[in-house]
Amino acid sequence: EAEVAQSPRYKITEKSQAVAFWCDPISGHATLYWYRQILGQGPELLVQFQDESVVDDSQLPKDRFSAERLKGVDSTLKIQPAELGDSAMYLCASSLGSYYNEQFFGPGTRLTVL
């Protein structure tokens, strides 16, 4: 069964360091999303891609976060420099981008900033 892949699964870093997360969506899914989930809350959108283009990055803290999906397939989310408040689960999801819009989530990357 096709799944969204993410790596690493866990990342511990010190504040001011750079971190990067990788996501490989389900094959054929044109739309890719990065969400951040703080413990005890629902996920919140950081950035949405349609193929290689950014559709919505209004909630992405652009002074420290960047995201790319160069070939319209896999994607990388980077944080530089990391801050204590960035500790969270980072979830990648993908969908066909059709009206049905069912989004499938990857296992997530648990980031801890010390």
Instruction: Enumerate binding residues for another protein (CB under 8 A).
Output: 30-31, 33, 40-45, 48, 50, 55-56, 91, 93, 95-108, 110
- How many other CB atoms are there within 10 angstroms of residue 106's CB atom? 22
- How many other CB atoms are there within 10 angstroms of residue 15's CB atom? 13
CA distance 1 to 8: 21
Of the pair 51, 83, the CB lying nearest another protein is at 51
Least Å distance, CB 16 to another protein, is 27
CA dist 60 → 31, 52, 87, 90, 98 (Å): 17, 17, 15, 13, 24
Of the pair 50, 76, the CB lying nearest another protein is at 50
Of the pair 80, 112, the CB lying nearest another protein is at 112
Least Å distance, CB 43 to another protein, is 5
